[in-house]
Amino acid sequence: MTRVELADGIILLMGYNSQDKKLDRRLVWFVADRIMPQLIDNYAKTYGFGIDEALENFITVKESELKYNSRRKQRYADIPTPALTFPGYSTIRQIGDIQDETTTFVAIKNGQQAIISNLEVGGLGGRIGYRLEQNRIWFVNIPDGVYTHVLVKYVPTISGVSDSEQLAIPSVIEGDLINLIMQVLREQKITPEDKNSNNVSN
């Protein structure tokens, strides 16, 4: 299922037709991203997974080009599309070598780099490390001239993927996703819009 198929299916199920502009795809995707943590949590509880294990069933795998920042004198790559936010857990599941998926880089928490910088090779035992700044990946101890791209495994937002891309959602819970989105949209639909500002009608 693509994000377009998801949105169009929900729009039709809710009784809107192609001429009706009251509900557009972007709103469906926005709501989907908002409820994805709840969906993943429900999935984990239903099938007896921990959250980390459950997140593995929602990952997308993409390549990202390695770049160089001359001011920081450090190499970086951008996460290909926005990653989903899940409180208490990283949705960036793995970053590593494109040609050898067993070669994975070590995640460094923000602030940790200052602590380990005085240790031999950054305290990484010769391995490559990375830390995240929003949607950017900064690399530590990455060798010169070896990598042009890195492999990124992560849980993306639905609003950030392309229209033609298959959503990384287990088929057994696609129905749950649709029902949760429709529930939220129905609640929004029946809640009257407040057109007053400071008790004064616009």
Query: What pLDDT, on a 0 to 100 scale, did the predictor assign at position 23?
Result: 81
Q: Of the candidates 137, 178, 202, 185, which has an alpha carbon nearest to the alpha carbon of residue 5?
A: 178
Provide the domain count of the chain: 2
40 and 88: one domain? no
Query: What pLDDT, on a 0 to 100 scale, did the predictor assign at position 32?
Result: 97
Query: What pLDDT, on a 0 to 100 scale, did the predictor assign at position 197?
Result: 55
Report the 10 Å Cβ neighbour count for 50: 10
85 and 148: one domain? yes
Q: What are phi and psi of 46, to 5 degrees?
A: -65, -40
Q: Is residue 68 part of a domain?
A: yes
Query: What pLDDT, on a 0 to 100 scale, did the predictor assign at position 196?
Result: 56
36 and 64: one domain? no
Q: Is residue 69 part of a domain?
A: yes
Residues of the chain falling short of pLDDT 50: 114-122
Integer CA distances (angstroms), 27 to 23, 30, 83, 152, 186, in order: 7, 5, 18, 27, 12
Structure-block tokens of residue 28: 């469906």
| Global pTM exceeds 0.85 | no
Report the 10 Å Cβ neighbour count for 77: 21
Q: The domain containing residue 106 runs over which residues? A: 60-154
